Structure formats: C-alpha cells, structure tokens
Structure 1
C-alpha cells in the first residue's frame, strides 16, 4: 500500500496519534496532519483515503495487533504476557491516556470511527484472547461451556482504559498483574 519506509511510517503514525490525543479526533484535519508530520496532503489521501482510515491504521500499528497470541502453556502466564505487551505499548506512547479519552469521546460522535475501531482493533484483541482461551479450554483450565467469553475483552482492557479515571493514576505492572490473578483467572476458572 505504501512506499514509505518503516521508520517514516512509524513517525507519521505517532504524529497522527499525538494530534488526536492533544486536540481530539474531531478537531484534527488532514491539513493539520500533513503539516505536523511534514507530509503532502495528497499523499495522505492517496495512501489512506480519509482521516478515519489513517487514524485507524495508526492505532492498529501502535497496538501490536499483528503479534501472535502467546502460548506459554498456561492460561495465567498467557494473560500475564498479554498484560506485558500492553505495558510495552503504553510505554511507547506517553500520551496513551489522552488518546483513549479522545477516542472514547470521538466514538460517540462518529459511529464510523467506533465501527472501525471495533472491526479492526478490538476484533484483533478479541481474536487473540479467543485463541488464548481456546488453548486453555483444550488444556482443561477453562470449562468448554464457560458463558463469560463475550465479556472477556471488556474485562481484560478495562484496567488499561479506566484505571486513570477511577484512581487518578495510570495502572502499573503490579496492579495489572494482580487484575489478572484476582479478577480474570478466578472468573475464567470457576467450576
């Protein structure tokens, strides 16, 4: 799709996400993206077609959604590995809380953005968690008829998204790992 180098594409994606975090999705324009990322507006439209597609692509690249689901041998260590991946992604994006807040506001005003995020970003998270859960079910760690599957994505991402709102601080590794041990694992493995 693009002839941009990996470094240039990463720089462009980071610029787009910082703009959204700072100003909100609605206020960011392709003109402003072109200016801040030192890009041609024509190139941006040729490569992505719209601001929506560019923002979703930038989000997808920042989320490491192309990584294979972890397969450590146990449900607990797989979930802890996913937490560690989330923490690494957050460390690369100091503006993540502002970005999440901007996107949560934007999806209310832009059903298209909400749909794109669910289809392209959350669907990948759902797939990864589904693979982890399927393997845990095959190993006998989770009942095959566990009825909470549809809630797993929400339960997994909740502390990443809401901890700052509830406590006024970003979730640290200790909190997130305790979330896995105290909340997720008991819910998944109750028999």
Structure 2
C-alpha cells in the first residue's frame, strides 16, 4: 500500500514538473513577460513561447495548464521589492531613493500593466498575481519607509498626507504615459517627490543632494 501511494498521480505529476530546472523555468517566464510587453496579452501564445525557447508545447501545457496560469506564474516569479533595502536614516532621502528605484523600473512595469490591462479584469488569478508581483511588495516597503520616519519623529503620526503617499508615488508613474506619452524616469519621479511629496509631509524640498 505504501509503495502504491508513493507512485500515485501527485507523485508522477511532481516528477514531471521537476524535470524543468529553475534556470529553464526562469527562461520561460522571462520570455512570457517580454512577449506580453512587446505584443500585448491577447497576442501572447503558448506556442510562441515554445518556439522562442525551443521546447515542446506539451512541456508548457503539462506544467501550466492554461495561458492565464502560465502568465500568473511568470508574474509571481518576477516579484521583487526594489525599495526593501532603503534605509538611509532620513525620511526625505529614503523617499528620494525610493523615487529613483521606482523610476528605474517604471518603463517595464508600466508597459506590462498596460499590456495586461483588460485581461486582469477578466481573470481573478491574473489580477491577484499582478498585485502580488508589482504592487503590494513595493507599497509595503514604502509604508515601512514612512513608518520609520514617524518613529524617528521626522513627521507627525497624524499627518493626513501619510495615507496618500503610496498612491501619489505609484500613481504618478502610471499616469505620466497617459498625459505626456513618456514613462516616469528616475529624474522625473525624484522631482515629483521634491515638489509634492516632501512638502506634504512638512519636510524640506529643494534639490536633492547630488541632483543635477
């Protein structure tokens, strides 16, 4: 009985999945996200990924049953927190560094979100994966930056602007392509922080140290 249980369907499926190495899986996921950025979600196909990564379609379909599952897995695997290590000891400088880091990723992130726009309203798993990969980790890291600023006494805990800083920071990156037809690069996001975010928190604005 024990031997039969060990060779059951779950074990066989796990064995098949294990044949894909982490490096190969990363190659698949990178190809998925790049194709979506370039062609849009509707034009993305499992067949195209199979061709570009030189693998069989059956390998992809065995691992990820559907197109939404494949894309959701790629999004979750791309999760990162570029703001997590920011801690200069100064809230104003932390926000400048957060602005630079967010601006570095703005083009790729915004392009991906635009490409997934309608699809995420139709597929709950896809929407959840997008939030987990690109939204929630960065918002949590930014809230931690603000919390430390409050703890150090740099800004009052009841400052009404605190609640809106994450929406301001990430909103400006999403809206600039719509208003101006260009992505929010690091310099643009830093200037926004200096002009709008720091004054709202009662912190000194002006040119950031070393800014041009």
Q: TM-score range by the shorter chain?
A: 0.7 to 0.9
Quick one: distance in 2 between partners of 1:140 and 1:38? 56
Q: Of the candidates 86, 89, 104, which is equivalent to residue 88 of structure 1?
A: 104
Q: Which residue of 1 aligns with 2:149?
A: 136
Aligned to 1:99: 112
Instruction: Give 1:184's aligned residue.
Output: 197
Aligned length: 186
Distance in 2 separating the partners of 1:173 and 1:66: 13
Q: Quick check: which has more Rg, 1 or 2?
A: 2
Superposed displacement of residue 68, structure 1: 2.8
Q: Deviations over 1:138-185 (max 9, x none)?
A: 011222223445433321112222212111222233211111111222
- CA-atom RMSD, angstroms? 3.0
Closer, same or farther: CA 120–88 of 1 in aligned 2, 3 Å? closer
What are the ranges of 5 or more consecutive residues in structure 2 without an aligned counterpart?
Answer: 1-16, 204-212
Partners of 2:27 and 2:90 in 1: how far apart? 37
Q: Give the alignment partner of residue 138 of structure 2, picking from 120, 125, 142.
A: 125
Q: Secondary structure at the match of 2:44?
A: coil
Q: Distance in 1 between matches of 2:78 and 2:47?
A: 22
Contact residue 62 and residue 89 of structure 1 kept, 8 A:
no
TM-score (norm 1): 0.77
In structure 2, do the counterparts of structure 1 residues 122 and 170 end up closer, same or farther at CA, with 3 Å as the change threshold?
Answer: closer
Structure 1 stretches lacking a partner, 5+ long = none
**Rounded Cα–Cα distance in structure 1 between residues aligned with 2:98 and 2:79:** 11
Summarize the Cα distance change of 1:130–1:39 in structure 2 as closer, same or farther, 3 Å threshold. Answer: farther
